[in-house]
Amino acid sequence: AEYDGWLSTQCGCGKVEEWRFEMFAATVQNLLDRPESY
């Protein structure tokens, strides 16, 4: 998360919001829980 924040500020995009990291984590967990649906 720190690297992503640093990288986005280097590109002039501003810091990545926390909810985006949470959404990514939920998506990965869903993939791990239900691999047959991906």
pLDDT tens for each residue of 1-38: 789 888 988 999 988 899 999 999 999 999 999 999 87
Domain that includes residue 26, residue range: 2-37
pLDDT of amino acid 16? 85
Letter string b/e over residues 12-30, b meaning 16 or more CB atoms within 10 A of that residue's CB: eeeebeeeeeeeeeeeeee
Q: What is the pLDDT of residue 4?
A: 87
pTM assigned to the model: 0.65
Q: How far is CA 9 from the centre of its chain?
A: 16
Q: State how many domains the chain has.
A: 1
